[in-house]
Structures are given as structure tokens and as C-alpha cells.
Amino acid sequence: MNYLIWIILALTIIYLIYSTYKRYKHFKNYDPSSESNEIVTLTDANFDKTIAKGVFLVDFWAAWCAPCRMLAPVVSELAEEFKGKAKVGKLDVEANKKIASQFNIRSIPTLIVFKDGKPVKQLVGMKTKAALSKAVLEQL
């Protein structure tokens, strides 16, 4: 019985080390071009026209922001899940300061749900996939 406990404990530790390594590897090698093709790249020039119709989840992020890079796979998964129902986009706040200041983005990651061009829900910081999904589903 004692051996079984040690084996379970060892397997748990191995799993935790492996999962942490996987997250670290993704975080360290983050590349926005490896995300879902469904994610729309937003800029100061195309922002208003792009979000004008329907439900749109916008991720305000920056390349140097560790939580932003950690949230990127979740945003990518949501883009795939809401394909055809809602759109998902990302706006780099470093390169697009006009839109970032227009919505008073002070902390990143900030995610805003827009409906027909108007902001209806704002989420700041790391959020779960379920919380983000719920925010979008409330507007559909």
C-alpha cells in the first residue's frame, strides 16, 4: 500500500513538471503568427470599420506582456469556437496607441466585448476560457 502512494506521488510530480515545461515552452516561444487564422489583426486604421457589425471580442495586448502571451492560446481557441457566430481580434497597444487610449487601456491584457461597434463588457487581467466565453455568449 505504501508503494502505491509513492508511485502516485511520483507520477503527480512528473505530470506537474511536464505541464509546467509545456507552458513555459509556449510562453518563451510565443509567436502571434502561430495563432488561429480566425483572429483578426486590428490596427488604428481598421479598428472602427472592422468591429462595426456583430459581436467582437478584442484582446488588447503587447509582445512584452507575459500574461498576454499566456492568454494567447485561450483567445486562439475562442476564435475557433466562435467561428461564424462572433469574431475575435487582437490589437497591439504598443503599435496602436490611438485606439488603446480611446478605450482607456491602462492594464493589459484587457479584453473588451463589442456589439455593433459599442463596448458592452470589459475584462482586465488573466481570465479563464469559461469567463471569456460567457462574456461573448451573453451578447449573442
Domain around 18: 1-30
- Domain count within the chain: 2
pLDDT by 10s per residue, the chain, length 140? 688 888 998 899 998 888 777 766 666 666 665 677 889 999 999 999 999 999 999 999 998 888 888 888 889 889 999 999 999 999 999 999 999 999 999 999 999 999 999 999 999 998 999 999 999 999 98
CA–CA gap between residue 111 and residue 91 (Å, rounded): 10
Q: Which of 68, 75, 79, 91 is catalytic?
A: 68
Question: Do 44 and 57 share a domain, yes or no?
Answer: yes
Q: Which of 62, 65, 123, 124 is catalytic?
A: 65
3-state SS, residue 16: helix
Question: Do 24 and 59 share a domain, yes or no?
Answer: no
Q: Domain holding 70: CATH number?
A: 3.40.30.10
Strand 110-115 relative to strand 118-124: parallel, antiparallel, unpaired? antiparallel
- Cell numbers placing 32: 502571434
Question: Do 24 and 46 share a domain, yes or no?
Answer: no
CA–CA gap between residue 74 and residue 132 (Å, rounded): 9
- Residue 55 to residues 5, 26, 48, 67: CA-CA distances in angstroms? 50, 29, 13, 24
Question: Do 42 and 57 share a domain, yes or no?
Answer: yes
Check if 106 is active-site: no
Check if 96 is active-site: no
Question: Do 37 and 14 share a domain, yes or no?
Answer: no
State the pTM of this model: 0.77
Please answer whether residues 125 and 102 qualify as being in contact, where contact means their C-beta atoms are separated by less than 8 angstroms.
no
- Residue 29 to residues 3, 22, 66: CA-CA distances in angstroms? 39, 11, 12
Count Cβ atoms within 10 A of the Cβ of residue 110 and give its class: 0-12 exposed, 13-18 middle, 19 or more buried. Answer: buried
Question: Do 39 and 16 share a domain, yes or no?
Answer: no
Task: Give me the phi and psi of 41, to 5 degrees please.
Answer: -85, 120
